[in-house]
Amino acid sequence: MIPLFLPFMSKEAIANATNVLKTSWIGEGPKVKEFEKALSPRLGTDNVLTVNNATAAIHLALRLANVRGGEVITTPMTCTATNEPIINEGADIVWADIDPANGSIDPDDIERKITKKTRAIMVVHWGGNPVDLKKINRIAKTHRVKVIEDAAQALGACYNDKPIGSHSDYVIISLQAIKIINTVDGGILTTKTRRDWHRAKTLRWYGIDRDRRIVKETYWDYPIKEAGYKFHMNDVTASIGLGQLPHLTQLLQQRQQQAAVYLKALEQSKSLKPVSVYPGAVNSWWMFTVLCGNKDNRLKLWKKLKEAGIDSGEAHIRNDIYPLFRKYNRGPLPGVRKFNDEKLCIPIGYWVDKEAVKKIADILASF
């Protein structure tokens, strides 16, 4: 069976981790700083912080956006990791609809749902496909609210010639096991301002700025002003990241080539379509999503792929159906319903060899 997802682990990453494990410093230290420095050009900003996972980065972004007691406009079409932190950070969820052509939050619906209580807009780049960032950031500016990009799936994606990581107030990226590159578990937060970067750096370690410790005779003193978390990355996982990062360009290129084959095949299909990509956006193709028209057709395609030894799946289902989120449901979300009913993700990545790509493409073309 060709799996839908498979972790990538380079030889360098394994060697790096082994070396760090043999040293006396395995917690947060020089490797974390080195990894953040190496990430910076890939993200188009110096305001980079690594953390232990992207969910933690979402918590930090929500804290920085001061959402407690207010509302966050968000999409239900995502991993629950996008939305659970909103509740945990003390804000109310307001669902916005999505564009059924690609699963991205609909800027017009965001604008309709903005109130005096709105503190932030949470957007998700479904499968690594950037949302309409220009329009959304314009709306946010007009209404003086923050934009948080859940770019968990979008490392390597671009928008208007700049990498995802540099466009909004806060951007979070996941380095969890099955992402294009991983640090086993890990996450990244980027911030627009240096002030926010500094606050987040402090919050990620109990409200302590470890670079500003005051050494007393028998203890270290820190001016702790705000209750933080234990969200930092460690040197073992950072060293894995340092061994993975040099492979990112090639891994992304391979996905672009595979996506091109699938896109060509879909032109011939009578009932399947790819997701649309906004002008100026470059999809990272962490997931390749096929729009099947309806649930029945999706099940047929899933079965056909399964018979051919190919795994596929929905990846995430709309969050608003979970009991946890039901109290936030206020009106119909027709775009969410359509996309949720017809999406199917097919394998894309280094483990899908040329022969398998062709096999998948042939099934898509003849469907």
Ligand X SMILES: Cc1ncc(COP(=O)(O)O)c(C=O)c1O
Which residues of the chain form contacts with ligand X (CB under 6 A)?
A: 53-55, 78-79, 81-82, 124, 150, 152-153, 174, 176, 187
Q: How far is the CB of 182 from ligand X (least distance, A)?
A: 9
What is the spatial distance between Cα 237 and Cα 107, in angstroms, rounded to a whole number? 37
What is the spatial distance between Cα 135 and Cα 353, in angstroms, rounded to a whole number? 38
What is the spatial distance between Cα 203 and Cα 228, in angstroms, rounded to a whole number? 4
CB nearer to ligand X: give 146 or 272.
Answer: 146
Instruction: Answer yes or no: are the C-beta atoms of 115 and 150 closer than 8 Å.
Output: no
Q: How far is the CB of 44 from ligand X (least distance, A)?
A: 20
Q: How many residues are given for the chain?
A: 367
Dihedral (Cα; 84, 90, 94, 100), 10-degree rounding:
-20
Q: How far is the CB of 225 from ligand X (least distance, A)?
A: 27
What is the spatial distance between Cα 48 and Cα 190, in angstroms, rounded to a whole number? 5
Helix (H, G, I), strand (E, B), or coil: what is residue 147? strand
CB nearer to ligand X: give 82 or 340.
Answer: 82
CB nearer to ligand X: give 137 or 174.
Answer: 174
Residue 63 belongs to what H/E stretch? helix 54-64
Of 178, 182, 128, the residue nearest 157 (C-alpha): 128
CB nearer to ligand X: give 5 or 205.
Answer: 5
CB nearer to ligand X: give 148 or 363.
Answer: 148
Q: How far is the CB of 165 from ligand X (least distance, A)?
A: 15
Q: How far is the CB of 315 from ligand X (least distance, A)?
A: 8
Q: How far is the CB of 243 from ligand X (least distance, A)?
A: 18
CB nearer to ligand X: give 286 or 367.
Answer: 286
What is the spatial distance between Cα 82 and Cα 151, in angstroms, rounded to a whole number? 10
- Cα–Cα–Cα angle for 109, 114, 119, nearest 5°? 125
What is the spatial distance between Cα 90 and Cα 69, in angstroms, rounded to a whole number? 6
Helix axes 54-64, 80-88, angle to 10 degrees: 40
Place of tokens 């930092």: 232
Phi-psi region of 239 (alpha: psi -120 to 50; beta: other; left: phi over 0): alpha
User: Would you state the structure tokens that stand for residue 275, as one six-digit string?
Assistant: 């997701």
CB nearer to ligand X: give 299 or 324.
Answer: 324
CB nearer to ligand X: give 36 or 265.
Answer: 36
Q: How far is the CB of 123 from ligand X (least distance, A)?
A: 10
Neighbours of 259 (CB within 10 A): 18
Q: How far is the CB of 78 from ligand X (least distance, A)?
A: 5
CB nearer to ligand X: give 109 or 150.
Answer: 150
Q: How far is the CB of 127 from ligand X (least distance, A)?
A: 9
Angstrom distances, CA of residue 51 to CA of 26, 125, 189, 268: 15, 20, 8, 44
Residue 90 belongs to what H/E stretch? none
